[in-house]
Structure 1
Amino acid sequence: MNRLGRSLLAAFVAVALVAGAGCASTSTQEGSGEYLDDSVITGKVKTAIFRDATLKSAEINVETFKGVVQLSGFVNSAADIRRAMAVARGIHGVVSVKNAMRVK
């Protein structure tokens, strides 16, 4: 391989490493794959809460970061808090559930 070929190969490898590092996750930032996974989890939790007959409240917000689901908003009772958390825990991919909900 000539000198130009080695230089081009080295440049390609350097660009690939930088691009790969840009998609990697850190403790405070998700990688692109994790972001998509969390979006799917959020959607599944929202759907499950919406479809649950005992949770009539549409005031539950769902956020997910690295599989950790945080539920916030307002519900009618402490039983609704427990039920919403149980529903969220039942979704595949959920690592843990944090409660920031309040009773009206």
Structure 2
Amino acid sequence: MAFNHNIDNPSRALWLRGSSVALAVLLAAGLAACDKKPGEPSAGQKLDAAVEKTENAAERAKVEAETAANDAKAKMESAAQDASAAARSAASNAAAALDDTAITTKVKAAFAADPNLSAVLISVDTKDGVVKLSGPVKTPDDAAHAERLTQAVEGVKSVVNELKPSNG
């Protein structure tokens, strides 16, 4: 049987053209597959690897961001606690200074009300509730009386009596 190469038939020509294109595509695909080296990842495998690397990097960034946020929060809490403690300490120191001033004022007022003691000549220094008396008094009894008056003032913890009787 003789092979008829009659391409005058339009449907046959169309069929040959389509077959030729299909054959060319198959050959190109086959050659592309042959071009792949053994052990080299495919395009899909490369894409999967790239996606995995991106996911890993995103997870690391998330963990680092969370760690940094936690560190910042801890530092802020610590700073707030330090500030609070400093404020309490300052308030306590201010209250103690006011207490010492109030004690000194009350002791001086008691001396001013007593005819035997001089609020002007007797020095009264108060620190943390400890009152130091110094200066001249007329008699040792006046020195003892000044100490008793001082000890009776609210807030006084102790008295250091350095009063000097001028006549005795």
What does residue 98 of structure 2 align with? 36
TM-score by length of 1: 0.75
- Verify: 1:100 aligned to 2:158, yes or no: no
% of aligned pairs identical?
Answer: 31
Superposed displacement of residue 55, structure 1: 1.7
What does residue 77 of structure 1 align with? 139
Higher relative helix content: 2
Superposed displacement of residue 51, structure 1: 0.8
Query: Which structure's CA Rg is the greater one?
Result: 2
Secondary structure of 1:97's partner? strand
What does residue 89 of structure 2 align with? 24
What does residue 62 of structure 1 align with? 124
Paired with 1:21 and 1:71, the residues of 2 have a C-alpha distance of 32
Higher relative strand content: 1
Gaps of 5+ in 1: none
Instruction: Write out per-residue CA displacement over residues 81-104 of structure 1, whole angstroms, 9 at most, x where no aligned residue.
Output: 011001101111111111111122
Which amino acid letter does the alignment assign opposite residue 11 of structure 1? M
- Structure 1 stretches of 4+ with a deviation exceeding 2 A read 6-13, 18-25
> Are the counterparts in 1 of residues 147 and 161 from structure 2 also a CA contact under 8 Å?
yes
Instruction: Write out per-residue CA displacement over residues 42-90 of structure 1, whole angstroms, 9 at most, x where no aligned residue.
Output: 1111111111122246310101111111100111110110110011011
For these two proteins, the number of residue pairs brought into alignment is 100
Which amino acid letter does the alignment assign opposite residue 37 of structure 1? D
What does residue 72 of structure 2 align with? 7
RMSD, matched Cα: 3.0
Which amino acid letter does the alignment assign opposite residue 98 of structure 2? L
Higher relative contact order (CA 8 A, sep 6+): 1
What does residue 39 of structure 2 align with? none
Question: What is the aligned counterpart of 1:53 among 85, 94, 115?
Answer: 115
Gaps of 5+ in 2: 1-67
Superposed displacement of residue 31, structure 1: 1.8
